[in-house]
Amino acid sequence: MCTDMKRTLALATLSFCGLTSFAGIHEEYTEGYEILSSAASSSQQERPMSFYKEGKVAFFRGDTAYTATIGNMYDLENIEKCPELTGLGIVGTFAYDPRKRTIYFSHIDEIGNADLYEATLQGGSFSEPKLMKIEGLDKLRKKVRGSSTVIAGWTYRYDRVTGFYNPTLANNGTRIYFSADFKDHGHGGRDIWYIDRAKNKEELGYDWQMPKNASDSVIVMNSKGRDDYPFVVGDSLMYFMSDRPGGFGGMDIYFSRYEKDHEFEVLDTATNEMVKVKRDIWTEAVNLDSTYNTRANEYNFIGTPKLAMFMSNRQGGKGKDDIYVPMPFRAEPDFDLQPEITMTEPKGFNWVLFFFDFDKGDMKPEYFVQLDELVSAMKEFPGVTFEITGHTDERGSDKYNMKLSDVRANYVRQLLIERGMSPNELVAEGRGFHETIIKNAQTEAQHEQNRRVDIKILNE
């Protein structure tokens, strides 16, 4: 932070321009999709996923590695065992560089240290894994109370076990992001870090430069909690897991955008004037909201334009930790359903118009005839204002359902205006799925009860 200039930075963000227009993978699947356990999940516990060669996705069950292809039906398919990944001792996710046919992964040694290793694919199997040559890590080590330390001026090791975890590639293979707990150099807990490939590595004696914290010190992306499982898209978007305060509970999935030349206002204490500086930063983390996150643990988000995937131990899965994917809603109407229409007038005034089709803002035609009866009843209350509230079922994101419920409310309002009601007498509002009649609906008949519009006298 320009400490050599003896200046104090005063935080003042001027603009978030840069690459904020880069579309996130998750945004493709926020409307019209539901999160379901993948066909690749089983009654066993699935372990973290990574992208592998030929566009396949690799994951583990126990010590056995599996691969799957990304199908055209919003899921993983063709699940097969993968012998060359089994037995490498991979912990968590790995990073595979197809151009170098090299895999980078975390491995825990015999005394409990987790370091980054690499191996090269030769024919149908990988070479013997070797410790990656990272600046400061390839120096002389000595044991310290069962762990080890690095004699290099900037140490990774302490009197407790720590290490490198869950690497992911960026910048055309010249940068690796990973998670680590470096007590004296982070923001607290486990942070996301990165290493860049070294130039003149023969002269330097190491292949990768000193680790750097991925979070800026002023606009902070890492937190005091655990930040882990980074996955970088297009060098401009990072998904990761965090248990920081403010989430839905447990571990949530967040994302951050990379901005080049982000501009700050700086107070120069020598002149007492504000000046401007620029830095490349990862912006503050944003929660993926209730579309993806629950009170359970969500983590290990990866994806392509064809499919988003993550892991969770939420209820309703096939095992303890399942792979989850967004799939299009497939709500089939029940043609045998003949519900009673509750177009009654209870105490006061409270009419309910039921049965909007799934994902639709217009009412089923067979219920239009009842609007004339509704208008007649409303005209018996001259001089009052009616509140029209739209509701949805519980499937889909909060944002999408709020919009859909508002469309339904305004649609009914317009129908009432066309039948002679004054616009000044009608107030429309959408409330999404926040006031469902049947909580945690399971059947289509139950979902239909929640898709409705209520008409009441305002402030009655």
Name the one residue in this structure whose structure tokens are 């519900």: 339
pLDDT at position 142: 42
Distances (CA, A) of 421 to 354, 417, 424: 20, 5, 9
CA atoms within 13 A on the CB side of 251: 21
Burial of 242 (C-beta count, 10 Å sphere; 0-12/13-18/19+): buried
User: Are 393 and 447 contacting, i.e. CB atoms less than 8 angstroms apart?
Assistant: yes
Going residue by residue through the chain, which has 460 residues, state the pLDDT in tens, using 9 for 90 and above.
333 332 323 222 222 233 333 568 888 887 778 899 999 999 988 999 999 999 999 999 988 999 999 988 789 999 999 999 999 999 999 999 999 999 999 998 887 888 999 999 998 899 999 999 998 765 434 444 444 444 444 455 444 345 899 999 999 999 999 999 887 678 888 999 999 999 888 888 899 999 999 998 888 999 999 999 999 998 999 999 999 998 888 999 999 999 998 888 878 888 888 888 888 999 999 999 888 999 899 999 999 888 899 999 998 889 889 999 998 876 554 444 444 444 444 346 778 775 565 555 566 565 666 778 888 888 888 888 999 999 888 888 888 888 888 888 888 888 888 888 898 899 999 999 998 888 888 887 787 778 888 888 886 5
**Number of Cβ within a 10 Å radius of residue 302:** 21
CA atoms within 13 A on the CB side of 266: 21
User: Are 70 and 78 contacting, i.e. CB atoms less than 8 angstroms apart?
Assistant: no
**Number of Cβ within a 10 Å radius of residue 424:** 7
Answer positive or negative: Cα dihedral of 287, 289, 291, 294.
positive
**Number of Cβ within a 10 Å radius of residue 151:** 10
pLDDT at position 337: 44
Nearest to 304 by CA among 94, 25, 14, 114: 25
Name the one residue in this structure whose structure tokens are 């501009």: 263
pLDDT at position 330: 61
**Number of Cβ within a 10 Å radius of residue 332:** 7
**Residue 14: strand, helix, or coil:** coil
Task: Give the separation between CA 406 and CA 421, rounded to whole angstroms.
Answer: 19
Task: Give the separation between CA 376 and CA 274, rounded to whole angstroms.
Answer: 67
Please report, to the nearest 10 degrees, the dihedral formed by the alpha carbons of residues 45, 47, 49, 53 taken in order.
Answer: -100
